[in-house]
Amino acid sequence: MDRRGAADTGSGYCLKDFAIGWAARKGSAVAEREVVYLSEVVGALSFALDITEGQPVGHSLRCCWIGMHLGMRLGLSQAELSDLYYTLLLKDIGCSSNAARICQLYLADDLSFKSNYKVVDTKLPEILRFLIANTGRRSGFVERLQTLVHIARNGGEISKELIETRCQRGAVIARSMRFSEAVAQGILDLDEHWDGSGQPVELEGEAISLFARIALLAQVVDVFFMRGGAKAALAEVTERSGRWFDPQLVALLAGMIDDAGFWQAMLSNDLHERVMGLEPRALTRAVDEDYLDDIAAGFAQVVDAKSPFTAGHSDRVALFTDLIAEEMGYAPERRRWLKRAALLHDIGKLGVSNSVLDKNGKPDDDEWAEIKRHPELGRVILSKIAAFQDMARIAGDHHEKLNGRGYPHGIKADAIDLDTRIVTVADIFDALTADRPYRKAMPVSAAFEIMEKEVGSGLDPDVFAALRRGFMRLEDVAGSEGERAA
């Protein structure tokens, strides 16, 4: 069914509906503080996707603003707009999965590489200029030359691999977070182009998900809008119309060029609230505890996918956190909350370059400063969600030490609560017992010996004792099971 160019009438969700929805949300924000909306959670967590793509803060929200207005002008139904809404917010949810590979293949900082690549067309001269400017800038001449030759010979396969990894992983994570197959398909098709020159499978025209067509257009519009304004953005997508973009979508965008309010809203301080109001009112979803668990687990996958050395880290920290909390007599509800916080404790690492995270050696002063930024980034991201305020504190403080020698703020014992102390011990234990770029994993006994030296000065003694008791209990259970099997 072709709805392109449809007026704001009939069963489609229109601008009037948006105005009503936004006003209702603003009016009920205080009265319904205890209700957690899916759009609030995903909209806030989308900031984590912005930083891992090297984009200005609010990129995903602005893409949602652009794309939803296009969808409303297409006359899409409320159900379709709901799927489009989450496609736009989550279009980059697989983006962390190719970060390590970008660093490896291009000898580059993944964050700046991705940011700079966003303005590149697929024309050969542009691609060559980009590669020469962004490949191996800190490497020696011979290594850089060898890398450029390798890319020249295998560029198509390399590009396909990176996009396929990102898009497929993103679709898998979206499904795990209970989003529809239409949302997953929109994420999967994001880098396909109208003329069939995109990737990973070179889909063409209307074979590409409509949501993906809108999301790609919105993405490029935002990138060029933030660099040069509305007219620069329209000029760029018009030049790519019929190649990258569906011409009818570009025509719809052209009809919005003189709507000053539309463009000004993208720079407003209340953009998050405006975007929340864009979700069709009849399909607005509140999330329960089970769904919050799934969302936390989904974003933990995004964090852990960033580096091969952090694969499974958030899940293991959550497991060890729960083990400690159980030993310390936490109630089931509080254990569940703390496990969720542990899953998201490292979300700020999405803003740290893989050239630092995966470095085979000691970080220099600048790299160490970048690493020390990640707790505060995590605090900022999670604090955008009212229901996650306490989790934000844990993310921000989980590298602090009782003696004040931790980071980022050097706070002391009286400012570090028990929940944070538990996650800190779980995090350090997993770091010691997992592989790292500069060393192999340690045995549990060796990890305990190292941690014991920090007990009292850096680590909470009761929390560390609970971790040891928990492991002794697990060993007893494993021994009993082994005897039964024998």
- The C-alpha atoms of residue 306 and residue 97 are separated, in whole angstroms, by 5
Q: Cα–chain-centroid distance for residue 203?
A: 26
Residues 289-306 pLDDT 10s: 999 999 999 999 999 999
- Least Cα distance to 344 among 402, 295, 417, 387 occurs for 295
Question: Which residues, other chains included, contact 215 with Cβ-Cβ below 8 Å and sequence gap of 6+?
Answer: 63, 67, 87, 88, 91, 186, 190
C-alpha separations of 470 from 314, 327, 482 in Å: 19, 6, 18
Residue 37 is encoded by which pair of tokens? 């909306």
pLDDT at 198 exceeding the cut of 50: yes
- The C-alpha atoms of residue 417 and residue 474 are separated, in whole angstroms, by 27
Identify the three-state secondary structure at position 311: coil
- The C-alpha atoms of residue 133 and residue 182 are separated, in whole angstroms, by 38
Average pLDDT over residues 143-168: 84
Average pLDDT over residues 67-76: 97
Residue 80 is encoded by which pair of tokens? 């379709």
Assess whether 349 carries a catalytic annotation. yes
- The C-alpha atoms of residue 165 and residue 463 are separated, in whole angstroms, by 39
- Least Cα distance to 168 among 63, 98, 244 occurs for 98
Question: Which residues, other chains included, contact 322 with Cβ-Cβ below 8 Å and sequence gap of 6+?
Answer: 335, 338, 339, 342
Indicate the pLDDT class of residue 112, thresholds 50, 70 and 90. confident
Q: Which domains does the chain have, with CATH numbers?
A: 15-97+163-283 (1.10.3210.10), 289-485 (1.10.3210.10)
Q: Give the model's pLDDT for residue 17.
A: 53
Place of tokens 């889909």: 203
Average pLDDT over residues 56-60: 95
Identify the three-state secondary structure at position 219: helix
Q: Give the model's pLDDT for residue 15.
A: 52
CA dihedral 80, 86, 89, 91 (to 10 degrees): -90
- The C-alpha atoms of residue 398 and residue 378 are separated, in whole angstroms, by 10
Give me the percent of the chain exceeding a pLDDT of 90.
67
**Other residues' Cβ atoms within 10 Å of the Cβ of residue 200:** 19
Residue 460 is encoded by which pair of tokens? 């909470």
pLDDT at 477 exceeding the cut of 70: no
Average pLDDT over residues 335-352: 96
What are the φ and ψ backbone dihedral angles of 315, each rounded to 5 degrees? -60, -40
Query: Helices (DSSP H) in 435-460: which residue ranges?
Result: 444-452
For the chain, the average pLDDT equals: 89
Q: Which of 306, 339, 349, 401 is catalytic?
A: 349
Residues 352-409 pLDDT 10s: 999 998 888 888 999 999 999 999 999 999 999 888 888 999 999 999 999 999 999 9
pLDDT at 2 exceeding the cut of 70: no
Burial 380-412 (b: 16+ CB within 10 A, else e): bbbbbbebbebbbbbbbbbbbbbeeebbbeebe
Q: Give the model's pLDDT for residue 344.
A: 97
C-alpha separations of 234 from 5, 119, 193, 229, 249 in Å: 18, 13, 17, 9, 11
Indicate the pLDDT class of residue 26, thresholds 50, 70 and 90. very low
pLDDT at 29 exceeding the cut of 50: no
